[in-house]
Amino acid sequence: MKPKDISDLFYQRELRDDLCPIVAGRRIIPESYLDMIHMALKRHGRPVAELGPVQTQVAHPRRGVASSESFHMAPDFDAPLEDFADYR
């Protein structure tokens, strides 16, 4: 579904502009009006995406990732850099 499909329904007066005002260039669509949009898109044979909350997965750190032979940290990793001597 493209945003243009929904905009076309407003321009063709199949959906009410007064219930979904345009604010700062974006159309504000109340959640209660989504069913009307779904029905109008289905009438026109447009594919309808299901809208819902975004499911986020929290990435948990894995222990031992840096313990392999391919991971190397220099012994002077946290030593002051010569490039920044002027800033001390």
How distant, in Å, are the alpha carbons of 13, 15, 47, 88 from that of 18? 11, 9, 25, 62
Instruction: Write the burial class of residue 15 (CB in 10 Å: 0-12 exposed, 13-18 middle, 19+ buried).
Output: buried
- The pLDDT tens digits of the residues spanning 15-46 come to 888 888 888 888 888 888 888 877 877 777 76
- The pLDDT tens digits of the residues spanning 66-85 come to 777 788 888 888 888 888 88
- The pLDDT tens digits of the residues spanning 42-56 come to 777 766 666 667 677
